[in-house]
Chains A and B, each alone.
Chain A
Amino acid sequence: MKRSLFGFDEPYDRFELLETETKTTGSSSDASEQRHAPQPVPTRLSRVEAALKERFFADQNPDLILRPFRIGRRFDALAAFLNGMADSGQIDEFLLAPAMRQEFPKLSRCTAKDLTESVFTLREAAAARTLDEAVSAIAEGRAAVFWAGSDECLLFDTRGYVSRSVGQPQNEPTVLGPHEAFTENLRTNITLLRRILRMPSFSAKLRPAGGKNGVQLALCYHVQRVNRKLLSEVERRLDAIEADAVLSIGALEQRIEEHPWLPLPQTLKTERPDRAASAVLDGRIVLLLEGSPIACVLPVTIGMLFASAEDASMRRPVGTLVRLVRAAGMLLSVCMPAYFLALTQHHAGQLSGEVLSVVLSSHVLVFLPLPAEMIFLLLVFQLVREAGIRVPGVVGHAIGIIGGLLLGQAAVAAHLVSTVVLIIVALSGLGNFTIPDYSTQMCVAYYRILLCVAATLGGFLGIGAAALLTLVLLCSVKSFGVPMLSPFAPATRTNRPFLVRGRLSRSGVQDFMNPEHAP
């Protein structure tokens, strides 16, 4: 940020999907630095054992299991896996038992091909020639089999750790849409997507997330619809991540987006597989992180942040009406407190006598000035909301009711706040809840406080200045090369307008995604 604000005469080389058809994207040479030369698999089993013990700090880490055995009573071998991460039943039944059975096929030599074809009965097997590959596979929950005299090893997919079963979406509930949500298991999440997108062109590319904790990430996209430049740019940004740990999709998002200092989210986070699948069909990229039940969709536009998963399930006129109500709610949420403050603080003469007398009579016993009262109530509203979210289950709902009813009632009775202001804050809060995306809700909630400060300072002039600056910032922001206000500014061909719900028959890749192939 510092560089972009104060750096002079720097080349304008930010990644742009729409505009830079002829330009190359930002350089990636610095990102893909080579770490160290990969260590080959030692041919002696004692060395393999020592190396693995060293890598996994076996003296402090009892979870590493190193099980020596003999393949067909002839070849010394070693199975390595992590206790709890790998399914011990699979290892016993499909790795150790076949290798040690009495009727063993006669093998003249012991190669990876022979072993996978004639000995081990596990479905997924891959050969590896470096110890690094083996180590990261073991850390993921796979089992590695080494045998004496070979410079390669076999990696088997024996992952069998416990995970939560597929549940209902907690933050994006719908009435008409499906009731399935992502879980913490990456494989399950990919399967949930594959169940909706049963097409060969859907790809889920697995790769490390970038942190030293070695968590896997899936890049899900439609091979024929995704823009290759976008894909390579996302991979470049992922390559550039240098973090100790990537623990959540939110942390990952901040490391790859263009403006992490901007409160407005530049990706869409969803827990619904149907929404993620729809984004994939639109030519977007969906990031799934191991251990995170949220998918990250990119790039996004403002329209997408204000759309709900249920819109497509409703009939077109109803869907359009619901969107209009949502837009009105958002406007109400943003403008109403500031507009009220501007009128009462700076332009009281413009209000009719009736309105002014109602405002004054409700405020007359309140000791706080009107702007402080408004900002105080908005902050209390956020406080109640935060408490409601953090407190578990039923108690959370109770806190909302207690906060909303009792606290409000008591505050009015104690002349801490006036009824008019309370009503305005409540209406504004309700309007805020119509915004479907949680991150956008938060952004709008805090933005209205900022707007209140501007209205207090400068009345309509303050609101105008703040609104213009916000609009200008919104027009300048891009999410992975796509302007946030697309398809309106810049104007592009669209089949999905912002307020009116588009026809279902016209869905497909939007023009601003700059598709390479016609869908």
Chain B
Amino acid sequence: MNRRLGRFGQREMTACAALTALNCGCFSIDKRDLYRGGNILHFATLLSLFAAFLLLELLTHLLRKTGAKSLGALCRRLPVPVRAVSLLLWAATLLLTVMLPQVHFLQAMTGLLYPDAEPVVIALYLLPCLILPACLGMETLVRTSRVLLPVTVIAALLTLASYARHYRIERLVPFFTTGHALLGQSVISLLRFLPPVLILLSAAPGGQGLQHVRRACRTGLWIGGGLTVALELCLGLTYRYTELSEMEAPLYRLIAEIDTVSAAIRLDRILLFVWTTASMLVCACALYAASLLLSEVCDVGDIRPPAVLLGCASVFAALLLTHADGVLRLLERYGWVIAVLPVPFCLPLFSERRRLRWQSGS
């Protein structure tokens, strides 16, 4: 097997969970619709966090009861219809975690930094940043998270602090305009913090015991979730809910408007750079978890073919969501290249299946 799980400790897992929670909390959903109901998102985030804790307890209980070591193994032990549904749900959540920050990233890049650039070109920079870390495995990913978490937390605190003088408490009012808005917001954003749980539980065998994974996940959720609530509150204090309901990526916008700028060092750019780097790493973590799940369920011994395939597919989907015209133009021009590109990576998948079939036959 070459699934590149490796072995990692509790502090690395905590960092991974916190970073994922922070990024998923900030970038996983388009919040424009949610702000239409009032300035309540920071409160709804707490509910999402609570939901994530509940789910973590439920899944760890299930893993302990069935004796499965990871989500993939648990999936195999479930009855077929439940297996199919749960697999579909988990895989979809993970793939959305890979894709949605990319959507925000592409929007922010084309909107704020590179207004004249082709989104496809920007996506080309994304691709290696997603695929290479995912191919290097979970051990590398959690270690990189451990390095990036302190930097991201400092970036978050700087973001909060640098806009402090513009905060107005009256902007938080109204909390919610209609009663069903609160419910709608909560339900939609309820699963925002699910990815850190899924990622860590998928890679649980590398984490030296389920108990350690659970503890790391909880601490990470507290750190990441807490920072997300603070950032949402900061956004609510900075903009009115009517403005927020029309912004594409409010956090990027907030960072871009930071006015503590010296002649040569642009704090806003550095913060943006930190946020996007952390975001890419989280996407890679989710990509790895999705690939692991796929490889476990399909009996593929190597993580790289599914990682390459899912990585390409997610970037393609993010491009389609943000700049469909450009993608269609690209397909017209270079469609054959895009069609041929994944073939070398698909071949090992088929050969692997054949080898397994041959082994079981003999």
Within 8 Å CB of A471, what residues of B? 144, 147-148
Complex alpha-carbon distance, A8 and B139, angstroms: 19
Query: Do A460 and B269 have beta carbons less than 8 Å apart?
Result: yes
B280–A468 CB distance below 8 A = yes
**Distance between B141 CB and nearest chain A CB, rounded to angstroms:** 8
Contact A354 B263 (CB under 8 A): yes
Instruction: Give Cα distance in the complex from A485 to B146, angstroms.
Output: 10
Whole-angstrom CA separation of A476 from B144 in the bound complex? 9
* CB neighbours of A262 from chain B (8 A): none
Q: Are B4 and A12 in touch, CB under 8 angstroms?
A: yes
How far, in whole Å, are A510 and B322 apart by their CA atoms in the complex? Answer: 50
Residues of A contacting B276 in the complex (Cβ-Cβ under 8 angstroms): 461, 464
Contact B2 A355 (CB under 8 A): no
Nearest CB of chain A from residue B288's CB, rounded to whole Å: 12
Measured between beta carbons, the chain A residues less than 8 angstroms from B272 are: 460
B302 within 8 A of A: yes
Complex Cα spacing A460 to B281, Å: 16
- Least CB distance from A126 to B in Å reads 46
B137 surroundings in chain A (CB, below 8 A):
476
Bound Cα distance from A465 to B122, whole angstroms: 11
Bitwise interface map of A from 1 to 12 toward B, beta carbon under 8 Å scored 1, else 0 = 000000111111
A16, B137: Cα distance in complex, Å: 15
CB < 8 Å neighbour of A461 from B114, B266, B281: B114
Interface residues of B in 318-362 (CB under 8 A from A): 348, 351-352, 355
Q: Is residue B143 contacting chain A, with contact meaning CB distance below 8 A?
A: yes
On chain B, the number of residues with a Cβ less than 8 Å from chain A's Cβ atoms is 50
- Which residues of A lie under 8 Å from residue B348 when comparing CB positions? 8-9
Within A1-32, the residues touching B (CB, 8 Å) are: 7-12, 16, 19-20
Q: Of B82-90, B125-133, B190-198, which stretch is located at the interface?
A: B125-133
Is A346 within 8 A of B114, CB to CB?
Answer: yes
Q: Mark A278-299, 1 if CB is under 8 A from B, else 0.
A: 0000000000000000000000
In the bound complex, how far is the Cα of B259 from the Cα of A265, in angstroms? 41
- B122 surroundings in chain A (CB, below 8 A): 461
Q: Considering residues A7, A355, A460, A462, which has the most beta carbons from chain B within 10 angstroms of its beta carbon? A: A460
Tally chain A residues at the interface, Cβ within 8 Å.
39
State A352–B148 Cα separation when bound (angstroms): 30
What residues of chain B lie closer than 8 Å to A11, measured between beta carbons?
Answer: 1-2
Docked-complex contact B11 and A491, CB < 8 angstroms:
yes
Candidates A7, A352, A463; contact of B263 at CB < 8 Å? A352
With A350-B269, A355-B263, A468-B280 as known contacts, state yes or no: A489 contacts B1, CB within 8 Å.
Answer: no
| Whole-angstrom distance between the Cβ of B27 and the nearest chain A Cβ | 15
Contact B114 A472, beta carbon cutoff 8 Å: no
* Nearest Cβ on chain B to A184's Cβ, whole angstroms: 40
Q: How far is the CA of A465 from the CA of B3 in the complex (A)?
A: 24
- The CA-CA distance from A427 to B125 in the complex, in Å, is 29
16 further contact pairs, Cβ within 8 A, besides A350-B266, A352-B261? A8-B302, A351-B264, A458-B125, A459-B113, A461-B125, A465-B280, A472-B132, A472-B141, A472-B281, A475-B143, A485-B143, A489-B144, A489-B147, A490-B11, A490-B12, A491-B12
